[in-house]
Amino acid sequence: MELSSLTKNAYLSIYISHSFLCANLAYTEGSKGYFLKDKSFLPNNLEVFTDSEIVEYWLNYFRTLEKKWGWSLLQRPKVSTGGIKVDFLPFKSEGSGVFGCKVSVSKNNVNYGRIFESLRKFSLNIKILGISKDSDQQLLEKFADSLGYDDVLLMDLHSRFFKMARVEKKEDRSKKNLSNVHLLDYDFNHIKVRWGDSRELLNLLNAPKYKTFLSKHVPSNLMSNIWGNFLQSPVFKTDSELLRDFVRAYITIQLLSLCSDNPRISRDFAVKPGKNLLWLTGDLVDIPDFKELLVAIIDGLQLRGTFDIVLDADSLIYTFGKAFSMGKNSDEIFFTKEMFLPKFTMVLAPDMDLRNDSRKAVFHGTLFSRKEKSTEVFAMSSEITQITIREPEKMYLEGKFIKNAYIEKYRKGVEFQCFEDGITWEQIVLDCRIKPVTYGPNVRANNIKFNMWLSGEHYS
């Protein structure tokens, strides 16, 4: 008998983070599939909801998903003396029913216990799991192994909460077998920080060290108003240049602080031999532009070398990361890499033996296509150059660093396939700023630096 997870199937998985809900409904048929997605913030006053109000909240939430997706999920609620009970429609065909529903709740949510118990009362058909340090370790180890990466760093970034978790593959030399083949194991590292009320965050943002990283000038009272409004009415995306600048600076300074508290969490990431992956999720990742976010991550972690990066704004790693890692053994749904994985970005951050005032071409390469004419690309020192890959399955990059710029792994040159083993790279980014990167001494100086850093778009 063929497993349900390997045939035509639909599965609903919801992740409740520190501050928001992320629902992903996966539909697969043979080797094809797609996701239906939804993100919404949790109510600020969930802790004061009565039992009947929170049940009504869940009922309205699932009905909203049905309406948005055009997908029938719930049977008619059953009302009894014990309250409302809800069952899910069994999966029949595309648009009707699901094979199962799982809700994963972060234990860092201040209302974790309330959410867990209310979902249990709402429906006996929901599989409810807690997300903790231990579950992060198990997930990342399986995830890294499934993708073929030696070092995976997960960053979960929220307005009031940051978490970093990392697995690094190691050889366990204490467990040799007779053929001298070493058993592989992982080192795990973890750190998190949670801030309290809005006043605590506003005091933090008014500190001199925070203003050192801003590139937009704004009076302190206006900055407090912008942040206060954001914390009270958060958004996933914004057109406000000021808010984007605040969030970028906020991410930078908080990562610097976390890495100071736990230096091992990012030490030697991207410079160690092997394949390195940085997986970003949380409600802040879509607010800055991609280059702005990359600046915050690289400078906050003080990265150099080479790594791949994924922006997972839909929390796929928490909704379906385990199912993907289990492959055909999953009891939920089966994904290939092409079906599950978001697009990747390759980042190259070379060391450079150049003066800070130097501005020279430090990388020259060619983006080849099996279909179109090849394109020459180059990168300048003091800039971040972003190379867009139009058709990854048909393109590859060859090039080399020059003018005393180098990455140890690519001393002899860069040869890079833009599609390999089910993974698609949609862009290549070269951070050729002189290391260590310096900010200040004031906002005006930072503005000039950012205009130069973000200007790299060099094609011939």
pLDDT over 90 at 23, yes or no: yes
The rounded mean pLDDT for the chain is 89
Given pLDDT bands bounded at 50, 70 and 90, which one contains residue 182? very low
Q: Residue 13 pLDDT more than 60?
A: yes
Instruction: Confirm if 276 and 315 have CB atoms less than 8 A apart.
Output: no
The pLDDT score that the predictor gives to residue 389 is: 92
Rounded Cα distance between 391 and 374, Å, is 12
Rounded distance between C-alpha atoms, residue 28 and residue 329, angstroms? 16
What's the pLDDT at 180?
45
86-123: buried (b, 16+ CB within 10 Å) or exposed (e) per residue? Answer: bebeebeeeeebbbbbbbbbbebbebbeebbebbeebb
Q: So what's the pLDDT on residue 316? A: 97
- Asked if the model's pLDDT at residue 181 lies above 50, the reply is no
The reply to whether CATH 3.40.1160.10 applies to domain 4-131 is: no
Residue 429 tokens read as 């980014």
Q: Where in the chain is the domain with CATH 3.30.420.40?
A: 4-131
Query: How many C-beta atoms lie closer than 10 Å to residue 207's C-beta?
Result: 10
- Token pair for 384: 């971040």
- At 286-311, the pLDDT tens digits run 999 999 999 999 999 999 999 999 99
Average pLDDT over residues 204-208: 71
**Is 90 exceeded by the pLDDT of residue 105?**
yes
What is the helix (H) or strand (E) element at residue 106, kind and residue range? strand 101-106
316 and 280 Cβ atoms separated by less than 8 Å: no
pLDDT at position 100 is 96
Return the higher-pLDDT residue of 85 and 108: 108
What is the rounded CA–CA span in Å between residue 304 and residue 144?
A: 21
Q: Can you tell me the mean pLDDT for 380-388?
A: 92
Closest CA to 253 of 210, 191, 189: 210
**Helix ranges restricted to H, 128-279:** 133-147, 198-205, 208-211, 220-232, 241-261
pLDDT at 124: 84
Q: What residue type is 396 in one-letter code?
A: Y
Q: At what angle do helices 290-301 and 241-261 cross, to 10 degrees?
A: 20
Instruction: Write the single-letter amino acid at 95.
Output: G
Residue 146 near residue 152, CB atoms below 8 Å: no
Residue 120 has pLDDT above 70, yes or no: yes
**Greatest pairwise CA separation for the chain in angstroms:** 77
Q: What is the pLDDT of residue 78?
A: 78
- Report the distance separating Cα 249 and Cα 358, nearest Å: 26
Show the CA angle centred on residue 367, arms to residues 365 and 372, nearest 5°.
Answer: 145
pLDDT at 323 > cutoff 90? yes
Answer whether 110's CB lies under 8 Å from 85's CB.
no
What band does 178 get if pLDDT is binned at 50, 70 and 90? very low
